[in-house]
Structure 1
């Protein structure tokens, strides 16, 4: 009887050792938009490691990675499972579609933001896209940061600027006509153009390159009513709700052109706004930026 049991165990061990290694990969979506991350999962025989190649120049050694593709197109994703003396390679096709709107990815040491540019402000949109594609904003600083208000950047003089440098006056030697739109308010995450003051700029023309992103704070009904009376316009009920919940800086409305908004990464605004600042509200430790248009 013992010999029979021993033979059975040996048989199981033999077949277990000879069992083919199985590797399977799945994704939560095989067709996605350029702003949608794709969740990948590995399943099958237990492997020592899995190496992923997403077909866009990036790799991962996470077992179940989440990946955001940088541009539209068709990608071949490869997962290579390691079983010690053997590797098993599995491939999957992923289609990434063009975004519905003009989008820009803004990368910082604090995290990334995805920005939607408004079609209703075409001069600001086209100028911003042109500068991004030219690499104008590469390694520039958020040179002015005020918690509870906004974070400002885009001064070309900020690149490699010394800690003593006074920043905020640089530009591309042109300005852009104001494109005010009652639909676009200075809510948290709003992207707006910086500009010089009314005394020297009564037409409220925008800087050709400097911008700010609103942090702001929740606003009460009385504040909004006061601004309506001062500026001669009315907020919609939805706009009042937005200002009362996520907040913003309504006193800037219809004085500075809002031409986009952060649609992903609002928490990054808070992280940047919380950094230690020194003279002229410049961060003590540089907060750099990189941008690319998502196509």
Structure 2
């Protein structure tokens, strides 16, 4: 019964004038990420045009071909896009590679947030990057656990101090689907997985070294812009 009530509530939100759900379903560019363990299809948001265009450009140029998902944390996320990861020796510490530029943050709350399956841009920490500018190439896909009510309350209180509000829709998604709400308003979300979450699940659960690099390389063989 509780789940049915939630579904009714979500349906009501979709019917409203702001139509959060409708905005998510607008026609978007689709990119297929072909990996050594399966394919992941992501849709890019038109509300983050700088990140969208940059990702499409790099994908079309073959920038990501042969790179690794070099950082994988169970029940959190998988990260890729480091050009230095291509043909990297086993055990090498990765994550510092870039393309020589950053992208200004494009936060679009409450429409784009860190639910499970969100595609977001990695970045340098606040102490050297107070503007929260994104890496020009590194990205991650969220695989956060379903959030308990108590955890959501704590995160909500922390975010409110920063002027960030979790809407009822966001809370429902974090409760029902999972995600990493503490990253909202901190890292730019610019798309979401529309197919292949079972591949993401497989990758996030692999055995890793002390630096969260998979012991067996997870290779991005290529990216294909489908539309």
Regions of 4+ moved over 6 Å: none
Matched residue, 2:86: 159
Shift of 1:225: 2.7
Q: What CA distance in whole angstroms lies between the structure 1 residues aligned with 2:54 and 2:101?
A: 11
- Give the TM-score normalised by structure 1: 0.65
User: Is residue 107–residue 113 contact of structure 1 (8 Å, CA) maintained in 2?
Assistant: yes
Q: What CA distance in whole angstroms lies between the structure 2 residues aligned with 1:112 and 1:255?
A: 28
User: Is residue 159–residue 182 contact of structure 2 (8 Å, CA) maintained in 1?
Assistant: no
Matched, 1:194 2:122: yes
| Number of matched pairs | 197
Larger Rg: 1
Shift of 1:224: 4.1
Matched, 1:132 2:59: yes
Structure with greater strand share of residues: 1
Structure with greater helix share of residues: 2
User: Is residue 224–residue 240 contact of structure 1 (8 Å, CA) maintained in 2?
Assistant: no
User: Is residue 164–residue 185 contact of structure 2 (8 Å, CA) maintained in 1?
Assistant: no
Worse-superposed segment, 241-250 or 108-117: 108-117
2:69 to 122, 126, 142: 142
1:281 match: secondary structure:
coil
Structure with more relative contact order (C-alpha pairs < 8 Å, separation 6 or more):
2
User: Is residue 216–residue 248 contact of structure 1 (8 Å, CA) maintained in 2?
Assistant: yes
1:114 match: secondary structure:
strand
User: Is residue 113–residue 264 contact of structure 1 (8 Å, CA) maintained in 2?
Assistant: yes
User: Is residue 196–residue 207 contact of structure 1 (8 Å, CA) maintained in 2?
Assistant: yes
Structure 1: 5+ residue runs without aligned partners? 1-98
- Give the TM-score normalised by structure 2: 0.84
After TM superposition, the structure 1 = structure 2 runs for residues 209-248 of structure 1, keeping only pairs within 5 Å, are 209-219=137-147, 220=149, 221-248=152-179
Matched residue, 2:186: 255
Shift of 1:232: 1.8
